[in-house]
Structure 1
């Protein structure tokens, strides 16, 4: 550290930021605006803001605009509120750098509602965006704008259109790799690349910066320019390229390091990779402290440390000289260093990626080069651009087939769950001990072999330790998926079940809420999915899971689909059966009296009754009671008072109740509550729904009966844990 004081400063800065976050100072997480400003914004339905257009992009139903240096207008006073994201209610001709006056309702960027869910709040905090405005209306705009910013925008749009036409089916991948535009990537490609562990090639990184920057630098040198002119020109080009591609953390990290490299060359100083990396990190963190918790930030810098610092040392210690050996060592080391970061964020990691990257990384440069060279050609003759980009398309076709193979290989992805922070710290300590052990002087060949073997064993133990999650009793999690229902059961014996999974006001609930939660909890296999009934708000996510299983696009395995035993089945019911058959999932039916026994838990089905025709999906829905020791949990789907009264003779006092029909006033009647008398009652619904859920009458009946009422709309995922006697409750947003 004495030789690299910048690295020491970087570590101290990160430590200071972390300590301030623990102290509750909103620099990294939370809203840093003064409480009085936050209160004013929350209390007013319509506000006026002024801000400068940073970027704009057409979405499916509106125009999305990023405004920077935003001021909230309150009378004659202007209050700075950093940056905001605005969704305009109609198309507008906007230019970068224009100052807009926009009216609308400001809403704080929402955080995740469930463990494992993407954290939009943290993501936008890195861009210093804490509020968004939907259905915004422009009240005024300036004539002046940024000529340079607009030029970059127009270059980007032109490049996007050329790649769209020349790239064909792979246009979205070319646009992501060269322009940082992932909006045109189809969901299937994203999932395939993530499962294969090669998603990182779609991010703007050091490969792009070195290819463009150093290529331009050498071109200028050959043209006769000196170091100063060539360095300054290439530095300006790279900075403009980084800004044009959206200024992602990986891009700006690479830009910063390239600028240090050029500066060192111009000044005649030596270039130190770790110092350049640390300086880039300091600049990013000082600009936006929220980067400290950014997965992209940690992954990007972790990969640089692995490639630039650790790999050369390990290769030297182990006397690895062949290029293949060094490449494999580098791939494994980067995988090990970034493993805790990946698992904390996604709960899963690709095992195949270690090997696939040996094939992908050397060839991804060809994709990048063919796409970049196609751009100037495409300005004049698009047909020639298609030929220029053809080699890159061949490589991408190869990647596509690799991903398909990985999808068919069992256990190619390890769902380990999200490790605790202390596990991550212990893991890195173990790696440091292993590294120190390898550095010790070894006198004999036998001693070298023994220490190498011991190091491999210790690395395996460290990895296994990171994925260790002891099961203690029964866990019931009611997920926050908007206006819908989804409960996850983790049994003490290792079995896992899903009860319903759907939403009427959220799309892709499986991809964005259910599957991320399962992976976060280390659930790789669902022993069964129970479907209480076939309304959209209970099955939309289940349909998605079954479709993904059929296409090998998810690593979560499903064994059984349990449907209500109805005499008459409808289209939705039959579709679920069809999707299950395509996925090789066994289909079972449940009705009154059926028991499902696991090692320590029993699930008893109380409804539908024998002979139910399924004409009223709500009243004929499946009702289940879970028994574990003295604990009783009741799951009621969307049944109403009619079915509740029919079940009174088979009911008993319960500890946990998943309240029927999202708290509807037509369910959870008084007679029913007098019998079941729940201690904890969970209502799953959206804060914004047109049904009036939950009903004030239902809440009053529950509270009068002595139940502790919990709401997913207020507290996010509600988790209940029990050892069969005692009960613990956790609210995710608390």
Structure 2
């Protein structure tokens, strides 16, 4: 099951590297697949012709790398299939997720106009009438749409999220008809989980949400307040069904059977059967499947008298989860689960396991092992914490030292009490009080961020490469690395990776040019961020998710200019103000009074035609025109040079009333590029090199015709658009190029 150099582990590394490259590469997936087969055949031929194992290993590594590349490129090609529109849909409901705004239903076994679809569909319902899990439904008219790409750098990417869940489309519908109900083993498992959940509700009352998360992996009933508390305290992992839960349950059964001297192979068979049943009961979640595969590897190694290797077992679990759907590497649960276990394996003093070893670790070894494991998990998951929460609470490392041992001791108690109540409900009603005390202690730990010192640090989002570099660094300095035998070599390799990881965190915030203008993709909602090398930062309109962009990219605006009070220009202002990132707020006279009443205590300044708002000593925003109906027309100027003209909702009539110099290198089309704006007279006066249309649909044909052959960017198609001005040059960079 293992060798000195862990071939399965390095095959997993090669496949993962290829998959990451493949997601963004432009090489055709079929070419990559053919190249992978060619490398594999060459390796076999070389192995048969001569004993050149070194060359064979490199050829096989290249073959696996290209296979990973091809798998992700094929996934990306499926995501580009475009049959958007209204279609008749039939399928089976396999998951129902409710929240305060809507209900999202996962539909599997789908037929679109009688054509089978291998992927699933997420359907959003806004009505009270919702299908039940395992219902077969027919939808006469479902509106299909492709998942959206990320709106700006480091934003949530729905395309990746859906691909990781094997979902090809999102859809909405106005009605459905239930045509039947499934009765297979999966339906039976979900029915059993629902029944057990109701019985746990009876036993634990309001505390049952935590118990169901711990035992069944059912987090749907965990309230937002409870979930936020666990996340803020850095202990949310205890609610995710993982190796801690699977290990306690399965190996607890194994040692019980061993203690009663059950036959050897009967013990293995019963334990594996219980494992499969439990995975089915909990819904086959990724973290549970990973832990389950590791358990299978341990048990089978006992049968075959192999020396179990944890890193090889983790690699086998990786392939078991990834091969059915390679895009699952984008799933956050997958990333947290595998990275955390990888870190624990790297710092464990012995990466091997023998279930029949009677030697037990001392209390000191357990304590030191817990410290090492907690530190390793923190380091290995830090890039994901940065990208998701953009905040790390330092005391969580110490809090986990108390939480993990407590959960390890309390979970078996909860399991036994719950099982006894399910079997003898009248006798074990008192179990609810004991289980309730356990939940109360967990909730006390979840409030750690309130009663422990506020000692946290804000973290900017970083590139996915940083996560791989961190994992590589942990591995290089660990005892699992068989290549470097000397400590100074490990330290040097680890130091190099640490430096590279720090660069990945710092690089996104590095400055380029004198002035940078970033347009966010908010559909028809307008937002732009102006930053200067001198440290100035201003927001012009807050229609899109401007607060999310500011947090993830470490942007702290000093000034916010709202050109019009409509939602497509000011919807994100609430988040900026509540998050302390709005700075001084400027708007037209008509909107200033409303904003002053809404945001009492904030500095609100009314602007008139001819006013200026300084961004820094060389950069300012000139107000060229003000209209209560069309908003303000603003011009960004740097060292006397017009960089960008924001037309807001100015119509053709308004354009003729704008006086003074309005020349600029970038024109932001008025009225989201709709007809009735951006006339020929305006474009002649502006003389722009670039035009930006902030719209989900793009500009009208008439507007595009008047713009001529210049560079026209549309945030709906191009995503985040960044302009960098340096001296007399200006460069444009779009997240998604369309030419």
In structure 2, the CA distance between the partners of 1:372 and 1:271, relative to structure 1 (3 Å rule), is same
The answer to whether structure 1 residue 498 and structure 2 residue 501 are counterparts is: no
Rounded to whole Å, the distance in 2 between the matches of 1:477 and 1:264 is 55
Cα separation, 2, equivalents of 1:253 and 1:234: 16
Return the match for 2:326 from 289, 308, 315.
289
CA pair 57-431 structure 1, distance change in 2 beyond 3 A: closer
Aligned to 2:649: 638
Report the aligned-residue RMSD: 4.2
Structure 1 residues 167 and 676 mapped into 2: Cα distance closer, same or farther (>3 Å)? farther
Secondary structure in 2 matching 1:305: helix
Equivalent of residue 13 in structure 2, options 11, 20, 34: 11
Quick one: distance in 2 between partners of 1:681 and 1:491?
Answer: 21
- Give yes or no for contact 1:590–1:605 (8 Å, CA) kept in 2: no
Structure 1 residues 572 and 164, CA, compared in 2 at 3 Å: closer, same or farther? Answer: farther
Equivalent of 2:519 in 458, 475, 478 = 478
Alignment correspondent of 1:327 = 370
Give per-residue Cα distances to partners, 1:417-459, cap 9 Å, x unaligned. 31374x66666666666668997668xxxxx9xx999999878
The CA deviation string for residues 674-714 of structure 1, in whole angstroms up to 9 with x for no partner, is 32233222222334xxxxx854444444x14x653322222
The answer for the alignment partner of 1:403 in structure 2 is 449
Give TM-score scaled by structure 1 length.
0.78
- Specify the alignment match of 1:416 in structure 2: 460
Residue 506 of structure 1 corresponds to none
Counterpart in the other structure of 2:584: 561
- Report how far residue 472 of structure 1 moved: 0.6
* Secondary structure of 2:319 counterpart: helix
TM-superposition CA deviations, 1:209-256 (whole Å, max 9, x none): 112222333445556643433443333333333333333321211111
Q: Is the 8 A contact 1:492 1:600 kept in 2?
A: no
Structure 1 counterpart of 2:597: 574
Q: Does the 8 A contact of 2:484 with 2:490 survive in 1?
A: no
Matched, 1:389 2:435: yes
Deviation at 1:291, TM superposition (A): 2.5
In the alignment, which residue of structure 2 is the partner of 1:554?
A: none
- Distance in 2 (CA, whole Å) between partners of 1:144 and 1:695 is 48
Distance 1:438 1:323, change over 3 A: farther
Aligned residues of 1:345 and 1:418 also touching (Cα < 8 A): no
Moved more, 380-389 or 355-364: 380-389
Shift of 1:602: 1.4
Aligned mate of 1:660, from 658, 670, 673 = 670
Alpha-carbon distance in structure 2 between the residues aligned to 1:259 and 1:724: 63
The answer to whether residue 295 in structure 2 is matched with residue 254 in structure 1 is no
Deviations 1:33-74 (A, max 9, x none): 779x945x34x632444x454334556687644344445555
1:606 aligns with 2:623: yes
Conservation of the 8 A alpha-carbon contact between 1:62 and 1:91: no
Corresponding residue of 1:722? 725
C-alpha deviation, 1:257, in angstroms: 1.0
Q: How does 1:89-488 map to 2 (within 5 A)?
A: 91=129, 94=132, 96=134, 102-105=139-142, 106-135=144-173, 141-142=179-180, 145-146=183-184, 148-161=185-198, 172-221=209-258, 225-312=262-349, 323-343=366-386, 349-365=392-408, 368=411, 372=415, 375-376=418-419, 380=425, 384=430, 386-404=432-450, 409=454, 412-419=456-463, 421=465, 461=499, 464-469=502-507, 470-473=510-513, 474-488=515-529
Question: Alpha carbons of 1:606 and 1:91: their partners in 2 closer, same or farther (altered >3 Å)?
Answer: closer
**1:676 correspondence with 2:720:** no
Q: How does 1:499-578 map to 2 (within 5 A)?
A: 499-502=540-543, 513-523=545-555, 525-547=556-578, 549=579, 557-558=580-581, 560-564=583-587, 566=589, 571=594, 573-575=596-598, 577-578=599-600
Label 1:454 to 1:355 Cα distance change in 2 as closer, same or farther (>3 A): farther
CA contact (8 A) 1:307 1:330 kept: yes
CA 1:38–1:559 in 2, change beyond 3 Å: closer, same or farther?
A: closer
Change (3 A) 1:325 1:86: same
- TM-superposed deviation, 1:393: 3.2
Gap change, CA 1:664 and 1:441, over 3 Å in 2? closer
| Structure 2: distance between partners of 1:169 and 1:530 | 46
SS at match of 1:538: helix
Shift of 1:590: 4.5
Query: Following the alignment from structure 1 to structure 2, what is the Cα–Cα distance between the partners of residues 541 and 168?
Result: 39
Deviations 1:14-36 (A, max 9, x none): 3554565543426325646779x
Measured against aligned partners, the alpha-carbon deviations of 1:288-319 in whole angstroms (never above 9, x if no partner) come to 111234443233222112112234389xxxxx
Counterpart of 1:317? Answer: none
Three-state SS of the structure 1 residue aligned to 2:620 is strand
SS of the residue corresponding to residue 145 of structure 2 reads: strand
SS at match of 1:481: coil
- Could you report, residue by residue, the CA deviation over 1:616-654 in whole angstroms, capped at 9, with x for unpaired residues? 7544547352426745123344344565444422x3211
Residues in 2 aligned to 1:197 and 1:629: alpha-carbon distance in whole angstroms: 50
Give distance in 1, aligned partners of 2:542 and 2:74.
30
Verify the 8 A CA contact 1:648 1:675 in the aligned structure 2. Answer: no
* Residues 167-176 or 296-305, more deviating: 167-176
CA contact (8 A) 1:29 1:125 kept: no
> Which residue in 1 is equivalent to 2:59?
none
Aligned-partner Cα distance in 1 for 2:493–2:182: 63
Matched, 1:2 2:16: no
User: Does the CA contact (< 8 Å) of 2:339 and 2:471 recur in 1?
Assistant: no
CA contact (8 A) 1:72 1:79 kept: yes
Rounded to whole Å, the distance in 2 between the matches of 1:463 and 1:247 is: 33
Kindly state the Cα deviation for residue 206 of structure 1 after the two structures are TM-superposed.
Answer: 0.7
* Secondary structure at 1:28 match in 2: helix
Q: 1:607 to 1:235 in 2, by over 3 A?
A: farther
Count of residue pairs brought into register by the alignment = 672
SS in 1 for 2:397: helix
Unaligned runs of 5+ in 2: 30-69, 352-362
What pairs with 1:63-82 in structure 2 (closer than 5 Å)?
64-72=104-112, 74=114, 78-82=115-119
Relative to structure 1, the CA distance from residue 260 to residue 618 in structure 2 (aligned partners, 3 Å threshold; closer, same or farther) is farther
Mapped contact 1:250–1:300 kept (Cα < 8 A): yes
| Separation of aligned partners in 2, 1:359 and 1:237 | 29
Q: Which moved more, 1:668-677 or 1:565-574?
A: 565-574
Task: Give, in whole Å, the separation in 2 of the partners of 1:38 and 1:349.
Answer: 39
Contact 2:19 2:326 in 1 (8 A): yes
